[in-house]
Protein backbone atom coordinates (compact mmCIF):
# COMPACT_ATOMS: atom_id res chain seq x y z
CA UNK A 1 0.00 0.00 0.00
CA UNK A 2 1.26 3.41 -0.90
CA UNK A 3 0.59 4.76 2.60
CA UNK A 4 3.35 2.50 3.95
CA UNK A 5 5.88 4.67 2.20
CA UNK A 6 4.45 8.09 3.01
CA UNK A 7 4.77 10.81 0.42
CA UNK A 8 8.50 10.70 -0.05
CA UNK A 9 9.56 10.15 -3.61
CA UNK A 10 10.59 6.52 -3.80
CA UNK A 11 12.51 5.23 -6.76
CA UNK A 12 10.53 2.42 -8.31
CA UNK A 13 12.25 -0.29 -10.27
CA UNK A 14 9.56 -0.34 -12.98
CA UNK A 15 6.79 2.21 -13.61
CA UNK A 16 4.02 1.98 -11.01
CA UNK A 17 0.87 0.21 -12.20
CA UNK A 18 -2.10 2.48 -11.52
CA UNK A 19 -5.69 1.35 -11.00
CA UNK A 20 -8.01 3.87 -12.72
CA UNK A 21 -9.72 6.24 -10.28
CA UNK A 22 -13.49 5.92 -10.19
CA UNK A 23 -13.39 2.24 -11.17
CA UNK A 24 -14.77 -0.49 -8.92
CA UNK A 25 -11.26 -1.87 -8.52
CA UNK A 26 -10.13 1.54 -7.26
CA UNK A 27 -12.91 1.42 -4.63
CA UNK A 28 -11.70 -2.06 -3.60
CA UNK A 29 -8.14 -0.76 -3.29
CA UNK A 30 -9.39 2.08 -1.07
CA UNK A 31 -11.26 -0.47 1.06
CA UNK A 32 -8.06 -2.51 1.39
CA UNK A 33 -6.07 0.58 2.39
CA UNK A 34 -8.65 1.53 5.01
CA UNK A 35 -8.72 -1.95 6.58
CA UNK A 36 -4.92 -2.15 6.47
CA UNK A 37 -4.80 1.13 8.33
CA UNK A 38 -6.60 -0.56 11.23
CA UNK A 39 -3.47 -2.66 11.75
CA UNK A 40 -5.24 -6.02 11.63
CA UNK A 41 -3.68 -7.71 8.60
CA UNK A 42 -5.62 -10.98 9.00
CA UNK A 43 -8.87 -9.02 8.68
CA UNK A 44 -7.51 -6.77 5.94
CA UNK A 45 -6.88 -9.62 3.51
CA UNK A 46 -10.33 -11.24 3.83
CA UNK A 47 -12.67 -11.06 0.84
CA UNK A 48 -15.07 -8.15 1.49
CA UNK A 49 -18.75 -9.14 1.66
CA UNK A 50 -20.37 -9.51 -1.73
CA UNK A 51 -17.16 -9.01 -3.70
CA UNK A 52 -15.81 -11.18 -6.49
CA UNK A 53 -12.76 -13.24 -5.51
CA UNK A 54 -11.04 -12.78 -8.89
CA UNK A 55 -11.37 -9.02 -8.66
CA UNK A 56 -10.07 -8.96 -5.07
CA UNK A 57 -7.06 -11.10 -6.05
CA UNK A 58 -6.45 -8.86 -9.10
CA UNK A 59 -6.47 -5.62 -7.10
CA UNK A 60 -4.16 -7.02 -4.45
CA UNK A 61 -1.79 -8.56 -7.02
CA UNK A 62 -1.38 -5.13 -8.65
CA UNK A 63 -0.78 -3.62 -5.23
CA UNK A 64 1.87 -6.21 -4.29
CA UNK A 65 3.60 -5.61 -7.63
CA UNK A 66 3.75 -1.89 -6.78
CA UNK A 67 5.02 -2.53 -3.24
CA UNK A 68 7.77 -4.91 -4.35
CA UNK A 69 8.65 -2.52 -7.14
CA UNK A 70 9.27 0.22 -4.55
CA UNK A 71 11.10 -2.05 -2.11
CA UNK A 72 13.43 -3.44 -4.77
CA UNK A 73 13.86 0.08 -6.18
CA UNK A 74 15.44 1.15 -2.88
CA UNK A 75 18.20 -1.49 -3.06
CA UNK A 76 19.04 -1.68 -6.78
CA UNK A 77 22.40 -0.01 -6.09
CA UNK A 78 23.33 -3.01 -3.93
CA UNK A 79 21.93 -5.73 -6.19
CA UNK A 80 24.40 -5.86 -9.06
CA UNK A 81 25.89 -8.35 -11.52
CA UNK A 82 28.95 -8.48 -9.25
CA UNK A 83 27.25 -8.80 -5.87
CA UNK A 84 24.53 -11.20 -7.07
CA UNK A 85 25.79 -13.22 -10.07
CA UNK A 86 22.97 -15.74 -9.51
CA UNK A 87 19.37 -15.24 -8.44
CA UNK A 88 19.30 -16.89 -5.04
CA UNK A 89 17.57 -16.90 -1.68
CA UNK A 90 20.32 -18.16 0.60
CA UNK A 91 22.74 -20.99 -0.23
CA UNK A 92 20.06 -23.65 -0.76
CA UNK A 93 17.78 -21.90 -3.26
CA UNK A 94 18.70 -20.72 -6.73
CA UNK A 95 16.21 -19.56 -9.36
CA UNK A 96 16.58 -19.85 -13.15
CA UNK A 97 14.36 -17.76 -15.41
CA UNK A 98 11.84 -18.98 -18.00
CA UNK A 99 8.56 -17.37 -19.02
CA UNK A 100 7.29 -20.09 -21.35
CA UNK A 101 7.10 -17.77 -24.37
CA UNK A 102 10.25 -15.70 -24.99
CA UNK A 103 12.49 -17.92 -22.86
CA UNK A 104 11.24 -21.48 -22.83
CA UNK A 105 14.24 -23.24 -21.33
CA UNK A 106 15.24 -21.96 -17.85
CA UNK A 107 18.38 -19.81 -17.96
CA UNK A 108 20.81 -19.08 -15.16
CA UNK A 109 21.29 -15.34 -14.78
CA UNK A 110 22.25 -12.68 -12.26
CA UNK A 111 19.70 -11.49 -9.70
CA UNK A 112 19.25 -8.01 -11.25
CA UNK A 113 18.70 -9.61 -14.68
CA UNK A 114 16.29 -12.20 -13.25
CA UNK A 115 14.29 -9.55 -11.37
CA UNK A 116 14.20 -7.36 -14.48
CA UNK A 117 12.83 -10.31 -16.50
CA UNK A 118 10.38 -11.14 -13.71
CA UNK A 119 9.01 -7.62 -13.15
CA UNK A 120 8.73 -6.99 -16.91
CA UNK A 121 6.84 -10.27 -17.29
CA UNK A 122 4.48 -9.40 -14.40
CA UNK A 123 3.91 -5.95 -15.87
CA UNK A 124 2.96 -7.50 -19.22
CA UNK A 125 0.39 -9.75 -17.50
CA UNK A 126 -1.10 -6.84 -15.50
CA UNK A 127 -1.36 -4.71 -18.67
CA UNK A 128 -3.16 -7.47 -20.58
CA UNK A 129 -6.86 -6.50 -20.54
CA UNK A 130 -7.90 -10.07 -21.38
CA UNK A 131 -6.18 -11.31 -18.20
CA UNK A 132 -6.70 -8.35 -15.88
CA UNK A 133 -9.83 -6.58 -17.16
CA UNK A 134 -10.18 -3.10 -15.68
CA UNK A 135 -13.58 -2.31 -17.19
CA UNK A 136 -16.72 -3.12 -15.24
CA UNK A 137 -18.64 -6.10 -16.57
CA UNK A 138 -15.71 -7.60 -18.47
CA UNK A 139 -15.32 -11.14 -17.10
CA UNK A 140 -12.04 -12.58 -15.85
CA UNK A 141 -10.70 -15.43 -18.00
CA UNK A 142 -11.01 -19.03 -16.80
CA UNK A 143 -7.24 -19.27 -16.28
CA UNK A 144 -7.06 -16.07 -14.24
CA UNK A 145 -6.40 -17.74 -10.89
CA UNK A 146 -3.57 -19.91 -12.24
CA UNK A 147 -1.92 -16.81 -13.80
CA UNK A 148 -2.32 -14.87 -10.54
CA UNK A 149 -0.75 -17.77 -8.61
CA UNK A 150 2.26 -17.78 -10.95
CA UNK A 151 2.66 -13.99 -10.57
CA UNK A 152 2.53 -14.20 -6.77
CA UNK A 153 4.89 -17.19 -6.67
CA UNK A 154 7.42 -15.17 -8.69
CA UNK A 155 6.95 -11.96 -6.70
CA UNK A 156 7.68 -13.98 -3.55
CA UNK A 157 11.14 -14.72 -4.98
CA UNK A 158 11.97 -11.01 -4.96
CA UNK A 159 11.09 -10.79 -1.26
CA UNK A 160 13.16 -13.95 -0.63
CA UNK A 161 16.18 -12.50 -2.46
CA UNK A 162 15.95 -9.17 -0.60
CA UNK A 163 15.71 -10.88 2.80
CA UNK A 164 18.53 -13.35 2.18
CA UNK A 165 21.00 -11.23 0.24
CA UNK A 166 20.23 -7.58 1.05
CA UNK A 167 18.74 -7.32 4.53
CA UNK A 168 21.83 -5.44 5.79
CA UNK A 169 21.27 -2.79 3.11
CA UNK A 170 17.56 -2.64 3.98
CA UNK A 171 18.50 -1.98 7.63
CA UNK A 172 21.05 0.68 6.66
CA UNK A 173 18.30 2.43 4.71
CA UNK A 174 15.92 1.99 7.69
CA UNK A 175 13.44 0.25 5.41
CA UNK A 176 13.04 -2.95 7.45
CA UNK A 177 9.65 -1.95 8.94
CA UNK A 178 8.30 -1.30 5.43
CA UNK A 179 9.72 -4.58 4.16
CA UNK A 180 8.36 -6.61 7.10
CA UNK A 181 4.88 -5.05 6.94
CA UNK A 182 4.69 -5.49 3.18
CA UNK A 183 5.86 -9.11 3.36
CA UNK A 184 3.55 -9.94 6.26
CA UNK A 185 0.60 -8.52 4.31
CA UNK A 186 1.66 -10.54 1.26
CA UNK A 187 1.95 -13.78 3.27
CA UNK A 188 -1.39 -13.33 5.02
CA UNK A 189 -2.99 -12.72 1.64
CA UNK A 190 -1.53 -15.80 -0.08
CA UNK A 191 -2.33 -17.93 2.99
CA UNK A 192 -5.94 -16.70 3.13
CA UNK A 193 -6.62 -17.86 -0.44
CA UNK A 194 -4.03 -20.66 -0.65
CA UNK A 195 -2.23 -19.03 -3.58
CA UNK A 196 1.36 -20.28 -3.17
CA UNK A 197 2.43 -23.87 -2.45
CA UNK A 198 4.13 -24.30 0.89
CA UNK A 199 7.28 -25.72 -0.73
CA UNK A 200 7.70 -22.49 -2.72
CA UNK A 201 7.72 -20.54 0.56
CA UNK A 202 10.49 -22.70 2.06
CA UNK A 203 13.31 -20.10 1.67
CA UNK A 204 11.53 -17.82 4.17
CA UNK A 205 9.67 -20.44 6.23
CA UNK A 206 11.24 -19.43 9.56
CA UNK A 207 10.49 -15.77 8.99
CA UNK A 208 6.92 -16.59 7.92
CA UNK A 209 6.36 -18.57 11.12
CA UNK A 210 7.80 -15.72 13.19
CA UNK A 211 5.68 -13.05 11.49
CA UNK A 212 2.44 -15.04 11.50
CA UNK A 213 2.41 -16.80 14.88
CA UNK A 214 1.87 -13.53 16.75
CA UNK A 215 -1.38 -13.03 14.86
CA UNK A 216 -3.02 -16.42 15.16
Annotated binding site for Zn(2+): 79, 84, 161, 166
Binding-site sequence positions = 79, 84, 161, 166
Pairing verdict, β 87-88 and 94-95: antiparallel
Amino acid sequence: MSFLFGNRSSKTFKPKKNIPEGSHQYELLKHAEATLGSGNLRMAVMLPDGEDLNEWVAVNTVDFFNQINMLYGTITDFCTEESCPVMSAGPKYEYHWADGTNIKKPIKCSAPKYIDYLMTWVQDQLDDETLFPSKIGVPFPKNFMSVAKTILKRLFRVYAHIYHQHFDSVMQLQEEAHLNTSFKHFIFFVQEFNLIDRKELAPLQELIEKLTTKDR
